[in-house]
Chain A
Amino acid sequence: MKKNKSNLKEPFVRIVKRDNIKLPKIILIYSIAIVGGLLLSGFISVLFSEKGIGDFFESLFTGALGSERKFWLLLQDTALLLGTSMALLPAFKMKFWNLGGNGQILVGCLSAIACMFYLGGKVSDSVIILLMLIASVAAGAVWAGIPAIFKAKFNTNESLFTLMMNYIAQGLVSLCITIWVKSGSGVLAPIAYGNVPEIGNKYLLPIILFVLITVLMHIYLRSAKHGYEISVVGESINTAKYVGIKVDKVIIRTMLLSGAIAGLVGFILAGSINHTVSTASANNMGFTGIMATWLASFNPLLIMLTSFFITFISKGMVEVRKTFMFTNDSISNIVVGIVYFAVIICSFFINYKLVFRKKEKEEIKK
């Protein structure tokens, strides 16, 4: 009995699941995390240089918004990340962990470049662009569709499968470059054919396109029958079967769509922005897109915000690097990592709450 008494004490802090959390509290938690993460990053930067914390934030903002060109670039890169997130979103809503965004973008990019490379100068640009578009979208869809088929038929682990597909895509890019670039430099010079025409300025097309896709995706997931099926399959396979949804079909169809949008991002990268391809063309957006999607709790409109934020930080950090005279660009990865950690931990405080043990004295009084 005596032995038990000491055990009876409640633990100092218990974790309890929350049922409900109000929006202002969510916003507060995220704000604290973001500011905290940035402050921490700022202090780390200050630690390694002679500048002050004020310089850190100043450069962060000027880096992202400092000039008109920077501003447009910020919007363009936000749009690309947004597009990638839109590709990943339907898959994630279905609880299909598509880690293969990089690969899907890359094959889209590669297919477009292949059209430009082989057809450039032989047929008119408008035909090339049309073919590029078809090829990119198809390639992306295939790249995402293969793991989906195996997931649907044999329940093959999709996160590992899609991850591996990334490297095969990279391999294909390297392979094509070695075939195309006879000099052996491994760098494909920009191709002048099949360049997508500018509208307004050269940044506007991707911005308009991907904002449009975001709106469409929002409607698709919210109001289309397909979107509804995706949610049901993601929430409960049992319920899906109960109402007669063909789960296999939904998985494959959704992943084809997911890959197709990723392919479209590849098309824009190839046809409108870079006019060339390298293994790094996807700019790791397949992964940062996961962050943007997840941080926005799969809400398409919030993803606009999170992708802007992520792009803002990485653009801003370029300037910080210059101001702080860091000789390499890795500081921005550190900062991005720290901010991610801070924001990821938010999900804990949103889903759970901590219950602290009441003061000892109160217990004695009782």
Chain B
Amino acid sequence: MIITFLMSAIAIGTVLLFGCIGETITEKAGHLNLGIPGIMCTGTVGGCLFVSLYMNGLENPESASWLLLILSSLFGAFLFASLTAAIYAVITITFRCNQNITGLAITIFGNGLTQFLMHSYVDKSNFSTAGKIIAKSLPFAENAGGVVKVLFGHGFYVYFAILIALIATFIFNRTKVGLNLRAIGENTATADAMGVNITLYKYVAILVGGGIAGFGGVFYIMDYVKGSWENAATIEAFGWLAIALVIFTLWKPNISIIGSYLFGALYIAAFVFGNISFSGREILKMLPYVITIIVLIVTSMMNKKENQPPQNLGLNYFREER
């Protein structure tokens, strides 16, 4: 049972990890995107739509190629999610409207659109077949047990998330692009004065961040629950948890790998351990949020500069207002 627990924790953690990295990238550019839950939803429907298009084009669904399934789900998720993020980007960057309000509207819209399309317009008939293929792990780990299974027994997406987290860490800390991006989130006016193209960076960060968050939902549907669809609210809830995770991991994608698995474990513990009481489960489910609040308080009390939210988070930038 401990194996199942760890496997599930990592899987749920992966859903959160995608959302968390996406939101972190967005926040590094100084934008608090409360639309991430909605964007994760539309990413889900995008990925599912492309998977269904691919599957329905095949004569024999069983013969679907693993690579093409992965690619079509990734492409669809990224496309839909970043398009949704683009709405947010236009409204907050170009039109300089309130980020919180816009984000909330994106979430409402994204949830609705996803529910609408998934319910009536995405052919889910071949999803269980597709799900099985997408969730395939390396052959040697498939029937292995113990540590090997926990470490290597997951589908492609789990490792892809880790890869993205590491790449994001690398970009933030080791590249010029990361340096410029962080500077924008910290002090937009200074970055502007130093010749960084503020608008371009913000757009790219929000679109890419949104796109990455979109992978989370499609992974959940296609890999974790093997193609069954409940409703958009499930995905949205993951999105809010992902936003909490950003605070918990202090805006650091490498920490967020561990952080997301921890959150995943807390989330899933309630379902896996059947022997604890119902009320125990509910308490467990609350824990991630309580922990996040504690982290938020502790970091604000310690007042260590590196652990604070980006200083210009939530503020729109208008050069002539200096």
Chain A residues at the B interface, C-beta cutoff of 8 Å: 15-17, 48, 97, 99, 150, 154-157, 159-161, 163-165, 167-168, 171-172, 174-175, 178-179, 184, 287, 290-291, 294, 326-338, 340-341, 344-345, 347-348, 351-352
Contacts and interface: CB of A to CB of B under 8 A. Distances in A.
A324 to B, nearest CB: 11
B282 A291 contact: no
A334 B106 CA distance: 9
A330 to B, nearest CB: 3
A330 B119 contact: yes
B96 A348 contact: yes
Given A159-B32, A337-B113, 14 more contacts: A97-B100, A155-B300, A156-B296, A160-B243, A161-B296, A163-B240, A163-B243, A178-B277, A178-B278, A290-B100, A330-B114, A331-B116, A344-B97, A344-B102
Interface residues of B, number: 53
B108 A337 contact: yes
Nearest 9 A/B pairs, CB to CB: A337-B109, A333-B112, A171-B286, A330-B115, A340-B105, A175-B282, A348-B95, A178-B278, A156-B300
B109 A17 contact: no
28 contacts: A17-B320, A99-B100, A154-B300, A156-B301, A159-B32, A160-B244, A163-B244, A164-B289, A167-B240, A168-B290, A171-B286, A171-B289, A174-B282, A174-B285, A175-B283, A184-B278, A291-B105, A294-B98, A326-B116, A327-B119, A330-B114, A330-B116, A335-B112, A338-B109, A340-B101, A341-B91, A344-B95, A344-B101
B171 interface: no
Interface-central residue, B247, B300, B301, by most chain A CB under 10 Å = B300
Contacts of B243: 160, 163
Given A157-B309, A294-B98, A326 B282 contact: no
Interface of B: 32, 34, 87, 91, 95-98, 100-102, 104-106, 108-116, 119-121, 232, 240, 243-244, 247, 277-279, 281-283, 285-286, 289-290, 292-293, 296-297, 300-301, 303, 309, 314, 318, 320-321
Nearest to A146: B293
Contacts of A172: 286
